Amino acid sequence: MQTVFLASIAAFLIVLYVIFRFVKNVVSTLIWGAVALGVVLLAAGFLVYLDIRDLRENFSNSSKLVLLAGEQDLVLGLEISAFELDATRLLSGSELSSLKEAYGKREFKTMLGNSSMLFILKDASLDEQASLGEVFTLVNERFSSGKVTSLLREYRKGNLIIYPETPVFKLLRLFPGGVSATASRAPPSEDASRTA
């Protein structure tokens, strides 16, 4: 009787030891996984921070190439060096022709040239015969709200190509609606804060 009792206690202790080792290994794996995930998230966050800082410092005064594309081809191109009307230049026919060839091959790096960023807004209703008035009407209709959400929506749909796609833009593509909802939220007005 005593041997059965001792054998059952020994079996119980062995099972307890195996369970303890298993749980310890699982917890250890989870901890190391969490640490690895934390390191990856910190590195990604740092890259996004550097990218945001670079965009903030250089975006307004760097050269940007903005192209409007129809169903098959480029319709219009602008080179913007600063956000002022006199700093915007309409691309010539020969410049647009050379970009059309690269656009057909999706060679965005070639299209970028000396510009720091390339933006291509696609709309099937545009054709090569579109007038400047039609183009500006389309852009005004598309972005009449004046909010970032219009750009984000077009970017997610694939109607806006941004090259190079930096970490900030990759992150914006990943978030389904949270970023655009936050971006569209108006800041509280002074009147609303007084009544609350």
Closest CA to 78 of 90, 87, 69, 70: 90
Closest CA to 51 of 174, 165, 168, 170: 168
Mean pLDDT of 35-50: 93
Residue of 148 and 196 predicted with greater confidence: 148
Q: Are 125 and 134 a contacting pair, CB within 8 Å?
A: no
Considering only 62-71, 136-145, 168-177, which range has the smallest mean pLDDT? 136-145
Confidence of residue 43 (pLDDT cuts 50, 70, 90): very high
Q: What is the pLDDT of residue 187?
A: 47
Q: What is the pLDDT of residue 186?
A: 46
d(CA 54, CA 59): 8
pTM for the predicted model, two decimal places: 0.65
- 9: how many CB neighbours lie within 10 A of its CB? 10
d(CA 182, CA 9): 61
